[in-house]
Chains A and B, each alone.
Chain A
Amino acid sequence: MKSAKDAHFWQVDHKIKKMAAVRHGVLMRSRDAWEKHSWTREYLGEKPKEGYFVWVREQPDGPLLTCVNIATKNTRQKFRNLLVVEEGLKIELEGFCGNTEGCIKGYHRASGKIIIKKNSSVKYKHVHAWEEESVVEPNYEFLLQENSSLDYVYKTSRTPKSLTVRNKITCLKGAKVKLQILADCKNTRFTTEDEIVLQGEGSSGISRLRLIARKDSDIKACSKIVAKSPSSGHLDCQSLVTDKNSRVTLVPEVVCEDKDAQITHEASIGKVSEEQLNYLRTRGLNEQQAINLITAGFLKV
Chain B
Amino acid sequence: MQNWLKKMTKSNLLKVTNLHATSHDGKKVLKGVDLEINKGEVIALLGPNGCGKSTLAHVISGNSKYKVDNGKITFKRKVVNSFTPEKRVKIGIALTHQHPPALKGVPLSVFLKIISKKDNDKEEMNIGSELLHREVNLDYSGGEKKISELMQILKLDPKLLILDELDSGLDIKNLKKLVGTIKKELVSKKVAILIITHSGRILDLLKPDMTCVMIDGEIYCKSKDYKKVLKTIDKYGYEKCKRCPFLAS
Query: Which chain A residues have a beta carbon within 8 Å of chain B's beta carbons?
Result: 273-276, 278-286, 293-294, 296-300
Partner of A286, one of B64, B65, B86, B114: B86
Query: Which residues in B have their C-beta under 8 angstroms from that of A273?
Result: 101
Check A276/B62 contact, CB under 8 A, given A285-B114, A286-B84. Answer: no
Q: Are B103 and A276 in contact, CB atoms less than 8 angstroms apart?
A: yes
Contact: B104 with A282, CB < 8 Å?
no
Distance (whole angstroms) from the CB of B19 to the closest CB of chain A: 18
Q: Is the CB of B62 within 8 A of A279?
A: no
Contact A282 B90 (CB under 8 A): no
Q: Nearest-CB distance from B64 to chain A (Å)?
A: 7
Q: How far is the CA of A21 from the CA of B60 in the complex (A)?
A: 65
Asked whether B86 lies within 8 Å of A293 as measured between CB atoms, the reply is: no
B106 within 8 A of A: yes
**19 additional contacts, CB 8 Å, given A276-B103, A282-B85, A282-B97?**
A275-B101, A278-B58, A278-B63, A278-B64, A279-B97, A279-B101, A281-B62, A281-B84, A281-B86, A282-B63, A284-B115, A296-B105, A296-B106, A297-B104, A297-B135, A298-B104, A299-B105, A300-B104, A300-B105
Residues of A with C-beta under 8 A to B86: 281, 284-286
B92-109 interface code vs A (CB 8 A; 1 in, 0 out): 001101001101111000
Q: What's the minimum C-beta distance from B236 to chain A, rounded to whole angstroms?
A: 35
Query: Is B192 an interface residue when CB atoms closer than 8 A count as contact?
Result: no
- Please indicate the chain A residues that have their CB under 8 angstroms from the CB of B58 in the complex: 278
Task: Write the B26-37 contact mask toward A (1 if CB under 8 angstroms, else 0).
Answer: 000000000000
Given contacts A286-B84, A298-B104, A298-B105, contact A278 B156 (CB under 8 A): no
Closest CB in chain B relative to A286 CB, distance in Å: 5
Tell me whether B55 is interfacial, beta carbon within 8 Å: no
| CB atoms of B65 and A274 under 8 A apart | yes
Chain A residues near B211 (CB, 8 Å)? none
Cβ A278 vs Cβ B85 within 8 A: yes
Of all chain A residues, the one with the shortest Cβ separation from B88 is A282
Contacts of A299 in B (CB 8 A): 105
Which residues of B from 111 to 126 have beta carbons under 8 Å from A?
A: 111, 114-115, 117
Taking a contact as CB atoms under 8 Å apart, the answer to whether B62 and A293 are in contact is no
Whether the Cβ atoms of A283 and B105 lie closer than 8 Å is no
Q: In the assembled complex, how far is the CB of residue A292 from the closest CB belonging to chain B, in whole angstroms?
A: 10
Contacts of B111 on A, CB cut-off 8 Å?
A: 283
* Contact B101 A283, beta carbon cutoff 8 Å: no
**Smallest CB-CB separation from A284: which chain B residue?**
B89
What's the Cα separation between A80 and B85 when bound, in Å? 53
Residues of A within 8 A of B117 (CB): 284
Question: Is there contact, CB below 8 Å, between A283 and B104?
Answer: no
Residue on A nearest B96 in the bound complex, by CB = A282
A301 to B10, CA, bound (A): 54
What are 26 A-B residue pairs whose CB atoms fall within 8 Å in the complex?
A274-B65, A278-B64, A279-B101, A279-B103, A281-B62, A281-B85, A282-B63, A282-B85, A282-B88, A282-B89, A282-B94, A282-B95, A283-B89, A283-B152, A283-B156, A284-B86, A284-B89, A284-B115, A284-B117, A284-B156, A285-B86, A285-B114, A285-B115, A293-B114, A297-B104, A300-B104
A296 to B114, CA, bound (A): 13
Q: Indicate if B61 sits at the interface (CB-CB under 8 A).
A: yes
Provide the residues of chain A in CB contact with B89, threshold 8 Å: 281-284
The 9 closest A-B pairs by CB, nearest first: A297-B105, A300-B105, A281-B85, A284-B89, A283-B115, A297-B106, A275-B101, A297-B104, A282-B85
Minimum C-beta distance from A212 to chain B (A): 12
Residues of B within 8 A of A284 (CB): 86, 89-90, 115, 117, 156
* Nearest-CB residue, chain A, relative to B155: A283
A residues in contact with B64, CB < 8 Å: 278
Cα A279 to Cα B106 with chains together (Å): 13
Smallest Cβ distance from A276 to chain B, in angstroms?
A: 5
With A284-B89, A286-B84: A297-B101 Cβ-Cβ less than 8 Å: no
- CA A279 – CA B95 in complex, angstroms? 10
- Collect the chain A residues with CB atoms within 8 Å of residue B135's CB: 297
B75 to chain A, nearest CB (A): 14
Determine how close the nearest CB of chain B comes to the CB of A252; give it in whole angstroms.
21
Complex Cα gap A131–B86 (Å): 33
Chain B residues with CB under 8 A of A275: 101
- Asked whether A278 and B103 contact (CB < 8 A) given A283-B152, A285-B115, A293-B114, the answer is no
Please indicate which of the listed interface residues A274, A278, A279, A282 has the most CB atoms of chain B within 10 Å of its own CB: A282
